[in-house]
Amino acid sequence: MRATAGAIEKVIIDRDGGKPEIQTIGGIPAQGICGSGMIDLLGQLYLSQLIDRRGKFNTELGSPYIRRKEGYYEYLLVPQEESVLGEDIVLAEFDIDNIIRAKAAIYAGITTLLEEVGLSPTDLDRIYIAGGFGRYISVVNAIVIGMFPDVDPQKYYFLGNTAIVGAYMSLLSLNRQRELEKLAKNVTHIELSANVKFMDRYVSSLFLPHTNIEEFPTVEKMLSGS
């Protein structure tokens, strides 16, 4: 659901047993999960080893929160008696597949653009995250699932809705408008859908956090407990 009142925005999972602890927008009973909650949930499931690198549930752990229903597995986040909807709020394996595909496209896009200009994530001093959605993302969990590059979380800066702010600036100031026009003329467009390297990186990113775990040394340490 959208990030409105009642949406689960933060999730912490207990490593012993897999019990979830949630926080909703507005602090009211849950009625769904928004984007930031999805990222938290996936990251926490992976760190708790309740899912493997392919996003499949680890049923051997015997967690009571993982159950089989109609031919697929799901994770119980909120039982029906605690939900506004009067039904369970769950995350199914096919939901996880969709999230992994989305995060793979983001990470593959970032690394492809960096290579086009001869840089790597470690060369960056700052990484700006735009959009209202981005403001509430847990950078740590986004790194854990392989959506953002594994660099110091302090390098990430949230800017909010930059499109609206830029429109205001250009409407209120001729100087800003000229600045934006100059920037637009210098933009280089890279068509990722036709980029072979992007497609290779996308396929490599369809794992948690990535096929090449060495690209995520911090996550590797978190999994090993060091």
* Contact between 26 and 6 (Cβ < 8 Å): yes
Token pair listed for 121: 């994530």
35: helix, strand or coil: helix
Closest alpha carbon to 73 in 60, 99, 92:
92
**Reported confidence tier of residue 119, pLDDT bands at 50, 70, 90:** very high
| Residue-level pLDDT at 160 | 87
pLDDT tens for residues 41-78?
Answer: 999 999 999 999 999 999 999 999 999 988 899 999 99
What b/e readout covers 7-38, taking b as 16+ CB neighbours within 10 angstroms? Answer: bbbbbebeeeebebebebbeeeebbbbbbbbb
CA-to-CA separations, 113 to 110, 141, 145, 201, in angstroms, rounded: 5, 22, 20, 11
| Segments in the chain forming alpha helices (H) | 35-47, 93-116, 139-144, 162-172, 174-185, 196-204, 217-224
| Residue-level pLDDT at 225 | 75
What percent of the chain is predicted at pLDDT more than 90? 84
Helical packing angle, 93-116 and 196-204, nearest 10°: 140
Please give the mean pLDDT across all residues of the chain: 94
**Reported confidence tier of residue 134, pLDDT bands at 50, 70, 90:** low
* Contact between 10 and 23 (Cβ < 8 Å): yes
Token pair listed for 25: 């927008």
Cα separation, 216 vs 108, in Å, equals: 14
* Model confidence at 133: pLDDT above 80: no
Cα separation, 39 vs 43, in Å, equals: 6
pLDDT tens for residues 200-225?
Answer: 999 999 999 999 999 999 999 999 87
Token pair listed for 39: 């990222």
Which residue type, as a one-letter code, is found at position 193? S
**Reported confidence tier of residue 136, pLDDT bands at 50, 70, 90:** confident
| Residue-level pLDDT at 105 | 97
> Mean per-residue pLDDT for 87-108?
97
| Residue-level pLDDT at 34 | 93
Cα separation, 135 vs 157, in Å, equals: 9
Angle among Cα 41, 114, 214 to the nearest 5 degrees reads 55
User: From edge to edge, which strands make up the β-sheet containing 89-92?
Assistant: 66-69, 72-78, 89-92
pLDDT tens for residues 146-177?
Answer: 999 999 999 999 998 899 999 999 999 999 99
The model's pTM is 0.92
> Mean per-residue pLDDT for 80-101?
95
